[in-house]
Chain A
Amino acid sequence: MATATRRRAGVRRAVRRAGAPLLLLLPSLILVGVFVYGLIVANARQSATDNHTAAQATGQAPTTGVGLRNYLDLLGSEEFQHSLTNLVLYTVVFLVGTMVIGFLWAWLLDKPLRGEGFFRSIYLFPMAVSFIASGVVWRWLLNSNQDEQASGLNRLFQMIGLDALQNNWWNNVSVGIVAIAIPAIWQLSGYVMALFLAGFRGIPVELREAARVDGASEWKLYRHVLFPQLSPIALSALIIIGHMSLKAFDLIMSISKPANYQTKVPAVDMYVFKSAFDYANAAAVGTILLVIVAIVIVPYLVHTHRQDKR
């Protein structure tokens, strides 16, 4: 009896130490466990079968395991390689574009300036607009007609005498995807600006003053004092912006069309497979996307932990 009470007290103490935090986390853990990991597993299992038809999808016809066949077929096909190339191109242009423009804006706004709030609001607002809403107008702007039939941006280029800038935007089969990154850059550069601006402002004034007193040039000030302070922000901006490049899907759906070969990315392939009842291949594309993400994100997470522990 006595030992039981003592043991119960011990358990209670242990529960209070580790149990309470876990209890608080529990709702989120259950939700994330089921909705994220449960579904990832379900998806992976699906991808290793020959579930390519409507009848199989509903269990009217049997499915059998095919191991990694779907993955090998996908990665070996010219079409899917085209999608992957597009994804890489899009991501690189989108990341470089938002980071460069966002940093430039933050740098321009860093020093005291009348009307700063105005500029900030203008640069930030596209972030508030959905791709469905902005797609309505970007579809016009990125119209590929040129010369007499031009409309959209090509027309604007003519009006301001920059005819040479006219191009067929996303209709170029090898680099057209880059045009889809333009609305995305428009949308998220302001966010990157906000991050960098917050970073600039987070740097103590004394640090700058001290450097100035030491006679450091403006460039040296940035190079040795400000940039090092900004690099963690740049990293998290890269991660947040980078994961959005996987959401290119919404943009492609509203500007181009899912069936267009020029602007195919894996997310679009997945959508098309699913529409054609080819669930196994849709799932395989999903897993490939997940692996790509993991390759990028896991080192970041590991890196962050090392920093935290320091």
Chain B
Amino acid sequence: MRGAPRTSAVAAVAAVAALALAACGGNGGEPESSGSGGADEVEVFTWWAAGSEKAGLDALVKVFDEQHPDVTFVNGAVAGGAGSQAKDLLQTRLQAQDPPDTFQAHAGAELQDYIDAAQIEPVSDLYDEFGLTDVFPPDLMDRLTADDGQIYSIPSNIHRANVVWSNRQVLTDAGLDPDATYPDLSAWMDDLATLKKAGVTPLAVAQAWTQVQLLETVLLADLGAEGYSGLWDGSTDWKGPEVTAALEDFETLMGYTNTDRDGLDWPESQQLVIDGKAAFTVMGDWAEASYEEQEQELGTDYSAFAVPGTDGVFDFLADSFTLPVGAPHPDGAKAWLETVGSAEGQEAFNKAKGSIPARTDVDMSTFGEYQQSAAEAFKSDTIVSSLAHGAAVPVATLTAITDATSKFTSGASDLAAFQSELAAANAG
């Protein structure tokens, strides 16, 4: 009798340990890495999980399967919060040295953090290998090249951020000309005032990042392309009177926006314009896809034009793909990057996503009307980097700018405080 309890004690402890191990072990050990250079599969990490973005990715995968039938595509898409959840998870995985084989990132300053952290490899060699050096416009190549002279990603598509979208019916109803062009912001604001009197929301906007995007186009309109770019390299003074004037314009514009803005994301504020509840919105040209999805006609239902005062300037951002350090399947990743950079890949992807190819040698004749005009503009306009999408400043600076903007637009700080916080954010 004496021995029995001890035996059962041992048995119970063993059982607990087994349970704990079962919990830990699960399907057994690490996911097996597939030896020999890992050319048999590629995990592609994106936030293209739905809508036209997913359609674009699907089209790209189709081309990939044709070009590299021996490499299996593994979809690592994470949706939500305009990529914020994906970026968050990506950061954790990179920190834990468990990178995907390749991931989506905005080209430009956003990549700098990954470069500083030695988490992505230079891909300059691949530009030579795939013959990409001369197919992208020189302005874009400049922005892709990091301080150390290396290039760290291959762009898949280009978007333009400084676009105003209007509902023509709403403008007509308010007695305004839907084809009006505005030389500068103040001319535009006159019409916004008229709309406000007519009882519609003049300008739709959504949560903080869209407000930052509006801010960047206002800065661009008031300071000009050179002055705007100078904000990021220190040659324009954040504390100067020109910036104060621009922030005053931003304040005026915010006064014309919908009160529920902070709870919306961009598709919802875009929908306000499509549904005729608001007259204008400033949004990147990915908004085109939501018009297409709802069978709206450019020129009859809606108009799109550069933000007043930014004509001839292309406020650019690009999605691109990288090669993470320690990727389990580097050869698979290279195969993917080859497809991303190829003319066929860019054509299929951008046609479905509603963006324009980064390559200049893609035949645009089969693209939509808006895309054709955007591609023309990209070739001829002055190119500047978008703030809200990480092309202009590193993530930490953008976060500080976003915080200051939200604080200002929610009424917790005045214009002077806002300006000094913006200056501080850019100082360090």
Contacts and interface: CB of A to CB of B under 8 A. Distances in A.
A–B contact via C-beta, under 8 angstroms:
yes
Contacts of B209: 259
Contacts of A75: none
Dominant secondary structure at the B interface: helix
A141 to B, nearest CB: 11
Contacts of A274: 88, 91
B403 A149 contact: no
A43 B258 CA distance: 41
Interface string A46-78: 000000111101101100000000000000000
A24 interface: yes
B334 interface: no
Interface in A138-194: 139, 142-146, 148-149, 168, 170-171, 173
Interface stretch (B221-229, B369-377, B405-413): B405-413
Q: Range of interface residues on chain B?
A: 35 or more
A42 B113 CA distance: 23
Contacts of A208: none
A170 B260 CA distance: 10
Contacts of A79: 403, 407
B420 interface: no
A257 B207 contact: yes
A276 interface: yes
A91 interface: no
Nearest to A55: B116
A277 B263 contact: no
Nearest to B262: A260
Contact of A23 (B9, B207, B399): B9
Interface string B401-428: 0110011001110000000000000000
A276 B84 CA distance: 11
A54 B116 contact: yes
Given A23-B9, A257-B207, A58 B118 contact: yes
A275 B87 contact: yes
B144 to A, nearest CB: 19
B286 interface: no
Contacts of B412: 82, 173, 261-262
Contact of B91 (A255, A258, A275): A275
Interface of A: 16, 20, 23-24, 26-27, 31, 52-55, 57-58, 60-61, 79, 82, 139, 142-146, 148-149, 168, 170-171, 173, 255-262, 271-272, 274-278
Given A57-B95, A60-B116, A257-B208, 18 more contacts: A16-B6, A23-B9, A54-B395, A139-B263, A144-B259, A144-B260, A144-B262, A149-B260, A171-B262, A171-B410, A260-B207, A261-B410, A261-B412, A271-B88, A272-B403, A275-B87, A275-B88, A277-B91
